[in-house]
């Protein structure tokens, strides 16, 4: 029997707010990103972050393409990850578009207010994207959504300067410990010492290196065994 409209209605439908279309250009969404947003809206309560294969199958995109668009949405602060409790009591990470609609709310509120000059402290989106590309180049792969969320927290919640994060990444590469946990420890150690700029961090690194070199020298000298020779003066001849 051929499917009819009633059968399709039972499968459910997705409602797209008109404001999303009206603010499409202001949000600077690409066509692919908008398609992905629409798809995620259709899966509001059933899209755990580990089901990339399902998204790939439904949209006909390869996983790498989906990850790239996910990354862009997260860097634009339209997509995030939240912990959802299921009916069986288990908790899993899910994608959420709540940040996108919070941005829409802000835009609508600002539209009703007199225009103001943009804050000089607001970091451009392209600068955040450049930082992500730096990490992906060093990691040799596309970052996962959770890794993107970590970088976003460094920038937004912790207010770390992008150059300071790059310096921490460089230190991780030097010590062959390329992981966000290691980089986070570096940034946290600097924060505890009230280090907020690249110049201050470089000074701390030089001091640390100096202490390491001094300790190595001291250890080297401690290992040297100096023989003790009992010296006796020569007796005069004839005695």
Among 40-44, 83-87, 114-118, 207-211, name the one with the lowest average pLDDT: 114-118
> Mean pLDDT over all residues of the chain?
78
**What is the Cα–Cα distance from 134 to 143, expressed in whole angstroms?**
11
In degrees, rounded to 5, the angle at the alpha carbon of residue 226 between the alpha carbons of residues 222 and 231 is 155
**Cα–Cα distance, 223 to 239 (Å, whole number):** 43
pLDDT computed for residue 190 by the predictor: 92
Token duo for residue 117: 């000059």
Among residues 170, 178, 174, which one has the least CA distance to residue 201?
Answer: 170
Note whether 94 and 128 are within 8 A (CB). no
3-state secondary structure of 95: strand
pLDDT at 6: 59
Tell me what pLDDT residue 230 has. Answer: 57
Element (H, E) at 189: helix 180-192
Confidence (pTM): 0.51
């Amino acid at each position: 029997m051929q499917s009819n409209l009633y059968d399709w209605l039972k499968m459910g439908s997705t409602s797209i707010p008109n404001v999303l279309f009206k603010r499409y250009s202001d949000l600077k969404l690409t066509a692919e990103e908008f398609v992905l947003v629409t798809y995620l809206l259709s899966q509001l309560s059933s899209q755990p972050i580990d089901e990339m294969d399902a998204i790939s199958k439904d949209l006909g995109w390869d996983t790498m393409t989906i990850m790239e668009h996910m990354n862009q949405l997260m860097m634009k602060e339209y997509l995030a990850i939240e912990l959802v409790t299921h009916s069986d009591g288990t908790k899993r990470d899910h994608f959420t578009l709540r940040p996108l609609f919070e941005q829409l709310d802000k835009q609508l509120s600002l539209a009703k207010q007199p225009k103001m000059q943009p804050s000089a402290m607001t970091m451009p989106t392209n600068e955040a994207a450049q930082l992500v590309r730096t990490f992906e180049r060093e990691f040799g792969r596309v970052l996962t959504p959770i890794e993107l969320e970590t970088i976003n927290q460094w920038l937004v919640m912790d207010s770390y300067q992008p150059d300071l994060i790059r310096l921490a990444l460089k230190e991780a590469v030097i010590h062959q410990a390329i992981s966000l946990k290691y980089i986070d420890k570096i940034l946290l150690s600097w924060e505890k010492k009230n280090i907020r700029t690249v110049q201050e961090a470089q000074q701390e690194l030089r001091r640390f290196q100096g202490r390491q070199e001094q300790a190595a020298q001291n250890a080297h000298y401690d290992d040297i065994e100096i023989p003790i020779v009992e010296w006796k003066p020569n007796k005069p001849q004839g005695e």
